[in-house]
Structure 1
Amino acid sequence: MSVEIALRAARVRYGPLEALHGLDLPVPAGTVTVLLGRNGSGRTTALRALAGTVRLSAGRVLWRGSDVTRLPAHERTRRGLCFVPDLEAVYATLTVAENLALAAPGGTARRSAALGGAGPRVVPPPPYPELVPLLDRPAGTLSGGERRMLALSRAFLAARAGVVLVDEPALGLAPPVAARTYRRLAALAVEGGAAVVLAEQRVPDGLPRGTLVHELRRGSLAFSGEPAELT
């Protein structure tokens, strides 16, 4: 089991507060990894540290053995990292179709077309059928669950993403939609070979065999193992 990306002795500070206390977190390729913990445990900060949206105060981020600690978030995205945060994960003033166009491969290059510039607008099929009738709606007018589906579409439209980070995938989703989402996230790892990392408050149902769980408490690792080993 090869390590795709990892935190090594990672520390993150928010002013006087230290959110991660020297965290070591290896994330293997082709596997679903669950970061478990309550609010304030450090699981969201760990995702952001991997994504490059927060800066380490100490430690390193290694991607396939290379030090990418100083690599900005947009460069990590270009290299094949997809991050879906829990909040502010869509462009509220753009339509659903425009958000999907930007999320698709080459979306940045097609930004002017997506926003009504010269050339045809290329809109990929929504990964969620529920979004089809909403294509012309501004994302800011959607319900919480609809916005979540739109945000998650980024993970499913990213071509050849080697690392997929999702903070609370089922937030605001109806149970059947959540179950479908976890199956698709599992397929990204098992069939696509991606390193999929989910930040959760509990271990979700339906994850594949070989799923790894790391429980965080107050910025430190409290447990590492398989879901069945949790008490």
Structure 2
Amino acid sequence: MSIEIVLRAARVRYGPLEALHGLDLPVPAGTVTVLLGRNGSGRTTALRALAGTVRLSTGRVLWRGADVTRLSAHERARRGLCFVPDRQAVYASLTVAENLALTTPGAPPPYPELVPLLERTAGTLSGGERRMLALSRALLAADARARARVVLVDEPSLGLAPPVAARTYDRLAALAVEGGAAVVLAEQRVPDGLPTGTLVHELRRGSLAFSGEPAELA
């Protein structure tokens, strides 16, 4: 199992508060990794640290052995990292089609539910529709042109109906199992139906409390 990207002794501060306390977090390629924890546990901050949308106060981010700690979020995106945050993940003033074209021009939306909405501006969509649009970035980024190597998604099922959520997890799992991407999901609980070999890291107050397989956590 090769490590794609890793946090080494990562600390992140928001003013006087420290959100990550020297976190070591290896993320293997071709694997689904779940960051588990309640609100305030540090799971979202860990994703942001990997993506480069927050800076480390100390520690490093290594991508295939190269130190990318000082690389900006857009530079990491150019290298093949796709980050889908839990909120403000779409461009509200652009249409659905324009949002999709930012990732892969001309590609059909991964969710059939979005096809009738292509000319609608993203700001007029429901919460679930906006979530499908945001997730489409990650799913389209794995095609032959974009070649996403690291896919980070904060709460994939937020606002989705259960059948749509199930399809989403199947597609995200395929990015890892079939596409070889390192897929990291921030969740409050372990989703059903994840593939064999899924890894779980439980965070509590910015520190690692458990690492292993889902069955061991149960």
Residue 169 (structure 1) aligned to one of 156, 165, 179: 156
Once superposed, which parts of structure 1, at least 4 consecutive aligned residues long, lie more than 2 Å away?
none
Deviation at 1:142, TM superposition (A): 0.3
- How far apart, CA to CA, are the structure 2 residues paired with 1:126 and 1:68? 31
Gaps of 5+ in 1: 103-124
Deviation at 1:88, TM superposition (A): 0.2
Q: How many residues align?
A: 209
Deviation at 1:47, TM superposition (A): 0.1
Deviation at 1:230, TM superposition (A): 0.8
Task: Give CA deviations for 1:169-192 in whole Å, capped at 9, x if unaligned.
Answer: 000000000000000000000000
Task: Give CA deviations for 1:52-109 in whole Å, capped at 9, x if unaligned.
Answer: 000000000000000000000000000000000000000001000110111xxxxxxx
| SS in structure 1 at match of 2:45 | helix
| Aligned pairs for 1:78-117 within 5 A | 78-102=78-102
Deviation at 1:202, TM superposition (A): 0.1
| SS in structure 1 at match of 2:138 | helix
| SS in structure 1 at match of 2:90 | coil
Deviation at 1:50, TM superposition (A): 0.1
Task: Give CA deviations for 1:173-223 in whole Å, capped at 9, x if unaligned.
Answer: 000000000000000000000000000000000100000000000000000
Residue 190 (structure 2) aligned to one of 181, 186, 203: 203
- How far apart, CA to CA, are the structure 1 residues paired with 2:172 and 2:30? 11
- Over the residues paired in the alignment, what is the CA RMSD in angstroms? 0.5
Higher Cα radius of gyration: 1
Deviation at 1:155, TM superposition (A): 0.4
Deviation at 1:21, TM superposition (A): 0.0
Q: Which residue of 2 aligns with 1:151?
A: 134
Deviation at 1:4, TM superposition (A): 0.1
- How far apart, CA to CA, are the structure 1 residues paired with 2:171 and 2:114? 16
- How far apart, CA to CA, are the structure 1 residues paired with 2:163 and 2:39? 25
Q: Which residue of 1 aligns with 2:18?
A: 18
- How far apart, CA to CA, are the structure 1 residues paired with 2:141 and 2:174? 14
- How far apart, CA to CA, are the structure 1 residues paired with 2:155 and 2:39? 11
- How far apart, CA to CA, are the structure 2 residues paired with 1:77 and 1:158? 10
| SS in structure 2 at match of 1:140 | helix
- TM norm structure 2: 0.95
Deviation at 1:167, TM superposition (A): 0.1
Residue 114 (structure 2) aligned to one of 114, 128, 131: 131
- How far apart, CA to CA, are the structure 1 residues paired with 2:98 and 2:68? 31
- How far apart, CA to CA, are the structure 2 residues paired with 1:32 and 1:212? 6
- How far apart, CA to CA, are the structure 2 residues paired with 1:11 and 1:191? 33
Deviation at 1:36, TM superposition (A): 0.0
Q: Single out whichever of 58-67 and 151-160 deviates more from structure 2.
A: 151-160
Deviation at 1:49, TM superposition (A): 0.1
Deviation at 1:41, TM superposition (A): 0.1
The alignment-based identity, stated in percent, is 92
Deviation at 1:24, TM superposition (A): 0.1
- How far apart, CA to CA, are the structure 1 residues paired with 2:100 and 2:214? 34
- How far apart, CA to CA, are the structure 1 residues paired with 2:101 and 2:150? 20
- How far apart, CA to CA, are the structure 2 residues paired with 1:20 and 1:84? 20
| SS in structure 2 at match of 1:21 | strand
